[in-house]
């Protein structure tokens, strides 16, 4: 489409500046944060690193540089397109608002220092870093919700509603309310079945399915999850925890959640589109007994699917969806490399947990 030609050309140029697999491997082999910072000044992250060095050092410098680079890279995308496409991109980026709020709510509920909360945030949605910093520095969750409501931010609505309906609701219920609101709002906004709405609807459906499958897997892996469900909702119906908008039927998800093991849950989901990554993840789980390995296989599947949109939808929104996924993944890889070096992990351990596409 003509309205995408300029923006997609810019995005392809930006994609060409993403770090190669070899560069990430080389960075993972560096033995100090100072060495990593020096190495990053020889990459497209040079300007961000140099700016951060005027105020910070060590991990703080790297966190600041990566966050600012991500904001600059993704934040400029809106300007490449017309108003209607900007609204669709904003819808995509709202998922990061939800994840940032979850991190803040968890952190405040556990009295985690604000600096630690802020360090994990990816402020590329509507909620900018200054707003997020202010929220993270509040005393408790109630103050955070009041602050969001006072600014009339749409994302405050599900939290305010939940507090009115369940005054004693905890962070678990708050996170669920945010997720449900996010997917319901996306469904409402994407009513069409063709064109860009269709592409974005498929991307949201994949995210909803992944969220629901991970919920089902947690129940299969731990009987304590069922006890928590009964305690919080006075019901054994796991469908209370699933979000709308996915393509895997609720009955199928509930059947998987009702099983007593990960292999049985994966078998219950064998007829779904997520069967291949679930099998891969199940094989990893059999070796390590870590649910995080299965989650990693599902997240990799998402990354592959979104990155493929760059070639599958070269004249549409797919290029933006693919680039955003790849850029966020790269920032995650660099953060992990920095933390791995800071913890004195051997390079092979750092490399094992990088998410790098062929």
Q: What is the pLDDT of residues 321-341, one digit of tens each?
A: 999 999 999 999 999 999 999
The pLDDT, as a whole number, for residue 235 is: 79
Structure pTM? 0.93
Span 227-238, mean pLDDT? 79
The pLDDT, as a whole number, for residue 196 is: 55
pLDDT for 226 beyond 90: no
Span 141-161, mean pLDDT? 95
The pLDDT, as a whole number, for residue 1 is: 56
What CA–CA distance (Å, rounded) separates 32 from 62?
A: 12
What CA–CA distance (Å, rounded) separates 159 from 157?
A: 5
The pLDDT, as a whole number, for residue 309 is: 96
Confidence band for 97, pLDDT divided at 50, 70 and 90: very high
Could you give all domains of the chain from N- to C-terminal order, each with its CATH number? 1-75+326-346 (1.10.132.50)
The pLDDT, as a whole number, for residue 193 is: 45
DSSP H helices in the chain: 2-15, 21-28, 33-40, 46-53, 58-75, 83-109, 114-119, 129-136, 141-150, 156-165, 171-189, 195-221, 223-233, 250-257, 262-268, 275-288, 291-312, 318-342, 347-352
Span 171-199, mean pLDDT? 84
Query: Cα-atom radius of gyration of the chain, to the nearest Å?
Result: 21
Strand (E) or helix (H) holding 111: none
What CA–CA distance (Å, rounded) separates 60 from 71?
A: 16
Span 133-142, mean pLDDT? 96
Q: How large a percentage of the chain has pLDDT more than 70?
A: 98
Q: What is the pLDDT of residues 103-126, one digit of tens each?
A: 999 999 999 999 999 999 999 999
Number of Cβ within 10 Å of residue 49's Cβ equals 23
What CA–CA distance (Å, rounded) separates 249 from 139?
A: 41
Lowest mean pLDDT among 15-19, 82-86, 156-160, 318-322: 82-86
The pLDDT, as a whole number, for residue 192 is: 57
The pLDDT, as a whole number, for residue 195 is: 53
Q: Which residue has the higher pLDDT, 34 or 196?
A: 34
Q: What is the pLDDT of residues 251-260, one digit of tens each?
A: 999 999 999 9
The pLDDT, as a whole number, for residue 190 is: 85
């Amino acid at each position: 489409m003509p309205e995408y030609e300029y923006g997609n050309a810019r995005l392809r140029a930006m994609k060409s500046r993403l770090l190669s697999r070899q560069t990430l491997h080389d960075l993972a082999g560096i033995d100090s944060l100072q060495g990593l910072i020096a190495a990053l000044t020889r990459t497209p992250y040079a300007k961000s690193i140099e700016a951060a060095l005027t105020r910070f050092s060590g991990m703080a410098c790297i966190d600041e540089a990566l966050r600012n680079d991500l904001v600059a890279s993704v934040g400029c995308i809106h300007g490449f397109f017309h108003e209607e496409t900007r609204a669709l991109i904003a819808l995509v980026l709202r998922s990061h608002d939800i994840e940032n709020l979850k991190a803040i709510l968890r952190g405040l509920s556990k009295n985690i220092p604000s600096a630690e909360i802020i360090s994990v945030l990816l402020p590329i949605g509507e909620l900018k870093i200054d707003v997020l910093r202010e929220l993270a520095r509040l005393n408790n969750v109630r103050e955070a919700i009041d602050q969001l409501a006072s600014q009339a931010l749409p994302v405050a609505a599900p939290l305010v509603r939940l507090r009115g309906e369940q005054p004693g609701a905890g962070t678990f219920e708050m996170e669920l309310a945010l997720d449900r609101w996010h997917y319901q709002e996306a469904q409402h906004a994407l009513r069409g079945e063709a064109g860009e709405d269709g592409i974005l609807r498929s991307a949201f459906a994949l995210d909803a399915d992944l969220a629901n499958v991970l919920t089902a897997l947690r129940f299969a892996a731990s009987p304590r999850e069922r006890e928590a469900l009964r305690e919080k909702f006075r019901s054994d119906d796991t469908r209370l925890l699933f979000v709308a908008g996915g393509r895997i039927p609720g009955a199928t998800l509930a059947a998987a959640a009702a099983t007593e093991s990960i292999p049985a849950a994966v078998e219950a989901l064998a007829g779904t589109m997520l069967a291949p990554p679930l099998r891969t993840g199940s094989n990893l789980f059999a070796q390590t007994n870590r649910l995080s390995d299965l989650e990693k296989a599902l997240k990799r599947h998402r990354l592959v699917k979104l990155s493929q949109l760059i070639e599958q939808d070269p004249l549409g929104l797919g290029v933006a969806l693919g680039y955003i996924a790849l850029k966020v993944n790269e920032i995650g890889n660099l953060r992990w490399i920095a933390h791995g070096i800071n913890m004195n992990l051997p390079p092979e351990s750092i490399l094992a947990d990088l998410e790098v596409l062929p």
